[in-house]
Structure 1
C-alpha cells in the first residue's frame, strides 16, 4: 500500500496548527489542512505490512487498540497516494458514517497501532482521513442518498450523539423510517454541546444533520423521552426503540465545602459556553474572566475546560490530576499495539503554556476541602499530594503535603458514572454494576422487549469512534430483529 519504501524515505509531517497566542483570541478550529503534496507523502508512508493493526479495533487492557470501525486505512491511504481522492472517499465511507468528526476529535488509536510506529512515528492517518472527507464536501461528491424503498418499519432513536446518529443513518439506509429524539434544543449530543468549537466547529455537525434530514430521517428536539413522552407511547408508535442517551451522569467530588458558589460541573460549563457562542452572546453567561480557575480532572474534558477558560480571559488556570505524569516513551508494560500511554501536550495545554508560561497540569494531587467566605463564595481549594502503589494501584495521602490554591472558580471534570438514573426507570431496563444499560455487546438488546441500547449508555464513557461503531452494530441487530435478515455491514 502506498509506496513500498515510503516509510523509510519520508518522515512524518505533523498536522499544522494555528499559533497558540493567535487562536486563543477566537473560538475557531485550531488545526489547519495539510497541503496536498504533504498528504501524498504521508500516505506513501503506509507500508504493505501484511496485517494492518491500525484496523484491528481490539480492547487490550481496557483500552482501544486500532480503529473500532475497522476502517480500510491502507486502502484509502493507497488511493490518496495515487491521487484517486474520490476512490479514497468511497473506501472511507464504507466503514465510517462521520469522518468529519473522527478526523477532528478522535485520539487516533489507529496511529498507536500503526506498524510503522513500532520504531518510527506513525503514519499520519487522522490528518489524511480529515483531508479525504473535507475534500469530498468541497468537491460536491457528498450528496443526499435516500433509500429507494421503505420497509414500513419505524424506529425511534433516543439520543442524537455519535452512537444515535450512526444507528439512525444505517437504519435509514436499510429503508426503515427513523426518528431521532433529542432533549436539547440542537441535534448532536456531546458533538454539539460537549466538544468545544476549537476542536469541532458546529457547522460540521449541522451540515451532517441536514444531509441526514434530506435522506429522510426525522429529528425532534426539545423532547425528553420518558418524561415528555413515555416509553409506552413510543412503543405504540415505533417497532423498536434504541437508547443512545450517553453516559452523562457526572462523577462528583464529595468533599467539604462542595456547596460553595463558584463550583461547576465541566459539561454544563462547556455547554453554556457553546450555547452562548451559537446564540451570539459575546458576554459568556458562565465566565472565567478575571478569575483564578482550578480544574479537577486530568482528562480531555478537563483540557477542554482549560481552553474555554483561557478564551474567556481567566487570570490563571491550574488543572489538577490524581494520576502521575505520563512517561515520555512507551513503558515495558505498554507495548505496541496498545494505545501509547505517553506524555502529550494537548492543544489546550500548549495554549496555556503560551499565555501563562507553563503547563497548567499538576500531578498526584487530591482535593481535600473547598474553602469559602461568609457569603458562601468559593475562595480556594485545599489539596494534598498522593502516591501510588504500583503493585496494587492504590493511592495514599502523603502527610505534610497539604496546599491551598486560591480560586474563584472550580470546574469538576472527574469523568462520568454511567447513564442517568431516569433511563432505567423510564424504560424499564436493567443496569450493570457500572450503572450502564445491561445489553450484551454484539446483540445490544436490553431487558425490555423491543428496546436496544448502544454507545456510552451501554458501554460507559468512551471514544466518539467507539460510539459510532456501536451505533452501526446496533443498527444491524435492529434490522435483523425487524426483518429476519440483514444486509447492513
Structure 2
C-alpha cells in the first residue's frame, strides 16, 4: 500500500455500531472498535500535509477548528499505518491526558479541519485515537507513573471534570501534592454523571481515576466547598487553589406553565439516570423514569440528543426533540468553508435509534415552545408551539420570526430542557469572592488563569463557559503550568 496517495483511493470507513433495535435494550457502549487492519488502512488516508490544520486548535467564529490540545495527529496516524502501536501511544500521550475520553465523546474538530475534508470525507482521526489508547490499556503499556520526589507544595483543585483531572495529573507529575474536591459521591464530573453510559462507559472513567489515585492524587468526594469546607480553609491549607467547577448553571425556559410537574432540566435527568444505572437500589422517586410516557426534549444540541437516547432506553412511548435552527444542509454552505467545523446534517446515534425504534427522526426544526399546559393536579399534559423562520434584521443580524398559522399542540408528560448553560453556579464563586464576567464565569485571562485572589486560579468551563472536553483538557494543562510557575518560579510542564 502506498501511503503517500492513500487518501486518493482508500475510502473513509465508520466504526461499526450495534443494531439500534438491540442497543436500546441496554446501557452498554453502542460502538465497536475497528480491527488493526482496518485502522492501518484508515491511517493511510492521512496526507501528512505540510501544514496539518487538524491540530491547529484555533477558534473560527467562536467554534474550535482543529484540536485544542494540539494532538500530534499525522505522527500517530503514520505509526498506526506502520503497525507501531506503542510508539503511537507515546506520541498521543504527549499532548492528551485522557484519550479514552476524547476518543469517545469529543465532537472531533480535528476532522472538520482535516485537509482531506476539503473535498472528501475526513480521516477517521477520532476512531484511530480511541483504538490507540484502548490498545495501551489492553496490552498493559499504561502503568502508574509515580513521581520520584515531592516538592512539598500542596494544591487543591475544586471540581473533578476533565479540566480538574488534567490539571491534577500535570501537577502531580511535577511533584506537587494534589487534592481534588468533588461534591458528588464519585469523581469525574460530567464524565461520570453528565455523559450517558452508552457513549462513555463508567468503568472507563473509574479506570482512569484509579490510575490517578495510584499515582498519588487524593480525591475527596461528598465534599461541597462552602458547606463542608470553606474557601478560607482551602486557602489556608493549600499553597494554591484551582477552580474547575464547570458551567453547570442550566438555562431556564421561563414561559407560561413552567411550574407544571414533569418539566426537568436535561442534566438533572441525565445525572439521575446514570445514578440509577450505577445503583439499582435507587428508589423510584429519586430518578426520572419516562417509561410509557410522551417525552419532548427542548434544545437541539448533544445534551438533547443524549436525553433522546436515554428516554428510548427507558422505553418511552414517544420522544421528540425541538430545535430553534433550520435543518442543516447536506453539504457545507458558502458561509461555512473549510477549515471551519462543518455545519452539515448528520444522523447522531440517538437519532438513528429513534428512527429505527419509533419510525422517524425525532428532530423538529425551526420550532418555538410558547406555553405548557397542566391538568387539574398540576401534571404536565401538553405544550404549544409555533414555527419560526430565520431572517436578517435591519442591522444584518439573524433573528427568528414567528410564522402565523403554524401553531400546534403536543401531548406530553415529560419535558427535558436542554437549551444550554448560563455559566458557573454562583454560590461557590461568592464563597471564594472571585470576580465574575457578565456571562457568569470566573474572571481569569486565558493563558494566565489568575483570579483577583492571590493563589487562586480558574480553568475550564468555570472560566470560559460551556465548551468542549478538549478545551477543558487544554485549560487544565495550561493552568497547571501557570500554577507550577507560581509555586516554583519556573516550570517543568509543557
TM-score strictly above 0.5: yes
How far did residue 423 of structure 1 move?
2.6
How many pairs does the alignment contain? 489
The answer to whether residue 95 in structure 2 is matched with residue 95 in structure 1 is yes
How far did residue 396 of structure 1 move?
1.4
The answer to whether residue 480 in structure 2 is matched with residue 478 in structure 1 is no
Within the candidate set 401, 417, 420, 1:415 is matched to 420
How far did residue 447 of structure 1 move?
1.2
Where does 1:150-299 land on structure 2 (aligned, <5 Å)? 150-281=150-281, 285-299=287-301
Distance, in Å, in 2 between the alignment partners of 1:227 and 1:395 is 43
- TM-score, normalised with respect to structure 2: 0.98
- In 1, are the aligned partners of 2:261 and 2:378 still within 8 Å (CA)? yes
Within the candidate set 293, 310, 313, 2:312 is matched to 310
Q: Deviations over 1:137-180 (max 9, x none)?
A: 00000000011011000000000000000000000000000000
How far did residue 224 of structure 1 move?
0.5
Instruction: Specify whether residues 85 and 436 from structure 1 end up closer, same or farther in structure 2 by C-alpha distance, changes over 3 A only.
Output: same
Which one is further off, 474-483 or 392-401?
392-401
- In 2, are the aligned partners of 1:64 and 1:109 still within 8 Å (CA)? yes
How far did residue 324 of structure 1 move?
1.0
Match of residue 453 from structure 1: 458
How far did residue 17 of structure 1 move?
0.8
Distance, in Å, in 1 between the alignment partners of 2:281 and 2:359 is 30
Distance, in Å, in 1 between the alignment partners of 2:405 and 2:441 is 39
Within the candidate set 384, 388, 391, 1:389 is matched to 391
**3-state SS of 1:367 partner:** strand
Distance, in Å, in 1 between the alignment partners of 2:370 and 2:227 is 37
The answer to whether residue 124 in structure 2 is matched with residue 136 in structure 1 is no
- In 1, are the aligned partners of 2:225 and 2:428 still within 8 Å (CA)? no
- In 2, are the aligned partners of 1:160 and 1:181 still within 8 Å (CA)? yes
Which one is further off, 393-402 or 406-415?
393-402
The answer to whether residue 326 in structure 2 is matched with residue 331 in structure 1 is no
The answer to whether residue 369 in structure 2 is matched with residue 364 in structure 1 is no
The answer to whether residue 117 in structure 2 is matched with residue 113 in structure 1 is no
- Structure 1 stretches of at least 4 aligned residues deviating more than 2 Å after TM superposition: 280-285
Match of residue 70 from structure 2: 70
The answer to whether residue 473 in structure 2 is matched with residue 468 in structure 1 is yes
**3-state SS of 2:320 partner:** strand
Distance, in Å, in 1 between the alignment partners of 2:282 and 2:162 is 29
Distance, in Å, in 1 between the alignment partners of 2:341 and 2:492 is 32
How far did residue 15 of structure 1 move?
1.1
Q: Deviations over 1:243-278 (max 9, x none)?
A: 000000000000011111111111011110000110
Match of residue 380 from structure 2: 378
Which one is further off, 382-391 or 227-236?
382-391
Match of residue 351 from structure 1: 353
Q: Deviations over 1:377-421 (max 9, x none)?
A: 100101111111143211111222111110011111111000011
- In 2, are the aligned partners of 1:171 and 1:178 still within 8 Å (CA)? yes
Instruction: Specify whether residues 383 and 298 from structure 1 end up closer, same or farther in structure 2 by C-alpha distance, changes over 3 A only.
Output: same
How far did residue 112 of structure 1 move?
0.3
- In 1, are the aligned partners of 2:435 and 2:452 still within 8 Å (CA)? yes
**3-state SS of 1:101 partner:** helix
**3-state SS of 1:216 partner:** coil
Distance, in Å, in 2 between the alignment partners of 1:13 and 1:400 is 45
Distance, in Å, in 2 between the alignment partners of 1:402 and 1:229 is 51
Distance, in Å, in 1 between the alignment partners of 2:402 and 2:333 is 25
Q: Structure 2 regions of 5+ residues with no counterpart?
A: none
How far did residue 280 of structure 1 move?
2.3
Distance, in Å, in 1 between the alignment partners of 2:2 and 2:474 is 26
Which one is further off, 16-25 or 283-292?
283-292
How far did residue 227 of structure 1 move?
2.1
Distance, in Å, in 2 between the alignment partners of 1:312 and 1:264 is 16
How far did residue 2 of structure 1 move?
8.6
Q: CA RMSD in A?
A: 1.2
Match of residue 124 from structure 1: 124
Within the candidate set 401, 406, 425, 1:401 is matched to 406
How far did residue 281 of structure 1 move?
4.4
- In 2, are the aligned partners of 1:416 and 1:461 still within 8 Å (CA)? yes
- In 2, are the aligned partners of 1:30 and 1:198 still within 8 Å (CA)? yes
- In 1, are the aligned partners of 2:156 and 2:179 still within 8 Å (CA)? yes
Distance, in Å, in 2 between the alignment partners of 1:59 and 1:260 is 40
Distance, in Å, in 1 between the alignment partners of 2:481 and 2:398 is 39
Instruction: Specify whether residues 2 and 181 from structure 1 end up closer, same or farther in structure 2 by C-alpha distance, changes over 3 A only.
Output: farther
- In 2, are the aligned partners of 1:2 and 1:45 still within 8 Å (CA)? no
- In 2, are the aligned partners of 1:2 and 1:46 still within 8 Å (CA)? no
Distance, in Å, in 2 between the alignment partners of 1:23 and 1:472 is 36
